[in-house]
Structure 1
Amino acid sequence: MKDSTLPPLSVSEEQHRSNPISRLYFSLLNEFKRGQTGYATIAIIAQSCIGSAAAMVLLMGNLHDFSKMTLVFFVTILCMAYNASVLANLKSKFSFNLLLASLLFSCSVIIASFL
């Protein structure tokens, strides 16, 4: 029993890089880290525009009022969370993940409203 080895608890970054989506994520994250000041400024403008378009589409839609306001709330909270993370100068990985969450949620709301 003393000679038995346990498998590693965490997956190494090298194993993550074998997946094409993970490779894209890590390359975008490294680029974001390198020029965080410029990319954060551009990203605030982009995600705010996409978030406001998602809110507009939701408010123009035919959903029930409670569902509509709940989705507008989540779009707004995610956009504000990213803006706050940039203003608070949080770690670049956390800010980047909030940016991705905000963009993915807003884009999915826009796409779902047209289906």
Structure 2
Amino acid sequence: MAHSKTVPNTNGSKNIYRLMFNEFKKRQLGYSTIAIIAQSCLGSAAAMALLMGGMDMVLKMILLFFVTIFCMAFNGAVLAQLKPLTTFNLLILSVVFSSLVIIAHII
């Protein structure tokens, strides 16, 4: 009886990403619907935090542009029914960027 060697998985973040993507892919329609609402609210909060902040107007508008583009890119990917990997990556990009903007303005 032959035994295959098992290599321990030391990259936990890649494993979590893969598990989340597989779950998203299985139930893409439902998760996309919920994600549009959630990431749009998060993007709106990031835009509000930017506009209420006291930073330079040019930097504020550049960051606001990117928050808006990332949120709209995900919404467009869902509406265009792009591949699940593209849609999932745009969701992560949008949520991470909006969260970083909010956290930067809280600190």
How high is the TM-score relative to the length of structure 1? Answer: 0.84
Instruction: Provide the residue aligned with 1:97 in structure 2.
Output: 89
In 2, Cα distance between equivalents of 1:19 and 1:29: 16
1:18 Cα deviation (Å)? 4.0
Q: Residue 30 of structure 1 aligns to which amino acid in structure 2?
A: N
**SS of equivalent to 2:13:** helix
Instruction: Provide the residue aligned with 2:24 in structure 1.
Output: 32
User: Tell me, which stretches of 5 or more residues in structure 2 are unaligned?
Assistant: 1-6
Instruction: Provide the residue aligned with 2:11 in structure 1.
Output: 19
- Count residues with an aligned counterpart: 100
Q: Residue 95 of structure 2 aligns to which amino acid in structure 1?
A: L
**SS of equivalent to 1:62:** coil
Q: What is the percent sequence identity of the aligned residues?
A: 56
User: Tell me, which stretches of 5 or more residues in structure 1 are unaligned?
Assistant: 1-14
In 2, Cα distance between equivalents of 1:93 and 1:50: 21
Runs of 4+ in 1 over 3 A off after TM superposition: none
1:72 Cα deviation (Å)? 0.4
Higher relative contact order (CA 8 A, sep 6+): 2
- Match among 64, 83, 86 for residue 72 of structure 1: 64
1:18-45 CA distances to partner (integer Å, 9 max, x unpaired)? Answer: 4110110000000000000000000000
**SS of equivalent to 2:101:** helix
In 2, Cα distance between equivalents of 1:18 and 1:89: 34
* Coordinate RMSD, CA, aligned: 1.1
1:74-107 CA distances to partner (integer Å, 9 max, x unpaired)? Answer: 0000000000000000000000000000000000
Q: Residue 66 of structure 1 aligns to which amino acid in structure 2?
A: V
1:114 Cα deviation (Å)? 1.4
How high is the TM-score relative to the length of structure 2? Answer: 0.91
Structure ID, larger Rg: 1
